[in-house]
């Protein structure tokens, strides 16, 4: 008989829950919370079979206490909110996209978490994940049409981007490069740097729109795990490369 005191249910399905890494961070936070509170952890996420997720399920959570801790800009405000909660109710259904594990004074267990709930080796084998010396992720926030959203992407491209790539590639190591912008991939391809290998998938944003497919999640998870299998990772700002570096505890450097 289980000695768990209630349930923490992470609901990561649907729009406005963030991208893949946001959902993984939210799921991780809820797992950490369930461990701390000695509650059963249950989760459901979009296209779990595509991600090789284990033991996911939907439950009737109509009578659960519902918490919305979705944050895009004001993490500190939400952090104080989280720490002020007493969690005295038995069952909680939580929507969140942030990693608040440190708010409970806990060290980083993300690598343990993702290996426990996702069959990484099966996905890597099925999708022929290769190992590279260096992984690069270029975060632009979209297709580089409207620069106002992510100005650092514009600044990066304007700031001798090709020269920086050539500096990294001069090591003659094999380099994997992915991006959230197809224009970035096309631009890098035009440089003809022989030891840079581009992601075979077109970029997509699983946080935008209702018609996100199973293949969209597969392609995003492919990039995430290929980066994770690189010895070191270079990235612009953003959570994608940071999350990938936590899977196998790789070195992460920023442009």
pLDDT given at position 40: 95
Residue from 66, 106, 49, 60 nearest 83 by CA: 106
Q: For residue range 179-199, what is the model confidence (pLDDT) as tens digits?
A: 988 888 888 999 999 999 999
pLDDT given at position 86: 82
Long-range contact list for 37-41, CB < 8 A, 24+ apart? 37/5, 37/6, 37/8, 37/87, 38/3, 38/4, 38/5, 39/4, 39/5, 39/6, 39/7, 39/8, 39/91, 39/92, 40/2, 40/4, 40/6, 40/7, 40/8, 41/7, 41/8, 41/10
pLDDT given at position 60: 93
Parts of the chain with a pLDDT under 70: 1-2, 71-79, 104-107, 141-159, 207-210
pLDDT given at position 163: 85
User: How many Cβ atoms sit within 10 Å of the Cβ of residue 147?
Assistant: 15
Q: What are phi and psi of 253, to 5 degrees?
A: -125, 150
pLDDT given at position 145: 45
Q: Please report the domains of the chain, with CATH numbers, ordered by start residue.
A: 7-118 (no CATH), 128-254 (3.40.50.11350)
Distance (Å, whole) CA 54 – CA 116:
8
pLDDT given at position 13: 85
Distance (Å, whole) CA 190 – CA 210:
33
User: How many Cβ atoms sit within 10 Å of the Cβ of residue 70?
Assistant: 15
Question: Three-state SS for 178?
Answer: strand
pLDDT given at position 183: 82
pLDDT given at position 144: 47
Residue from 206, 184, 205 nearest 196 by CA: 184
């Amino acid at each position: 008989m289980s000695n768990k005191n209630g349930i923490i249910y992470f609901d990561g399905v649907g729009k406005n829950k963030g991208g893949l890494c946001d959902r993984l961070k939210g799921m991780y936070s809820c797992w950490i919370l369930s461990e701390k509170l000695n509650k059963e952890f249950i989760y459901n996420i979009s296209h779990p079979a595509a991600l090789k997720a284990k033991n996911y399920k939907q439950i009737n959570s109509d009578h659960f206490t519902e918490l919305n801790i979705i944050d895009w800009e004001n993490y500190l405000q939400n952090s104080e909110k989280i720490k002020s909660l007493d969690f005295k109710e038995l069952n909680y259904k939580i929507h969140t996209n942030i990693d608040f594990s440190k708010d409970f004074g806990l060290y980083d267990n993300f690598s343990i978490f993702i290996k426990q709930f996702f069959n990484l080796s099966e996905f890597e084998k099925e999708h022929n994940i290769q190992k590279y010396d260096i992984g690069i992720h270029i975060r632009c926030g979209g297709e580089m049409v409207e620069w106002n959203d992510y100005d650092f992407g514009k600044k990066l491209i304007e700031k001798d981007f090709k020269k920086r790539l050539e500096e990294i590639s001069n090591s003659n190591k094999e380099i994997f490069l992915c991006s959230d912008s197809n224009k970035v991939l096309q631009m890098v391809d035009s440089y003809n740097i022989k030891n840079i290998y581009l992601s075979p998938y077109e970029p997509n944003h699983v946080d935008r729109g209702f018609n996100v497919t199973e293949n969209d999640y597969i392609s995003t998870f492919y990039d995430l795990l290929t980066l994770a299998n690189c010895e070191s990772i270079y990235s612009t700002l953003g959570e994608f490369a940071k999350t990938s570096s936590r899977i196998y505890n790789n070195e992460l450097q920023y442009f």
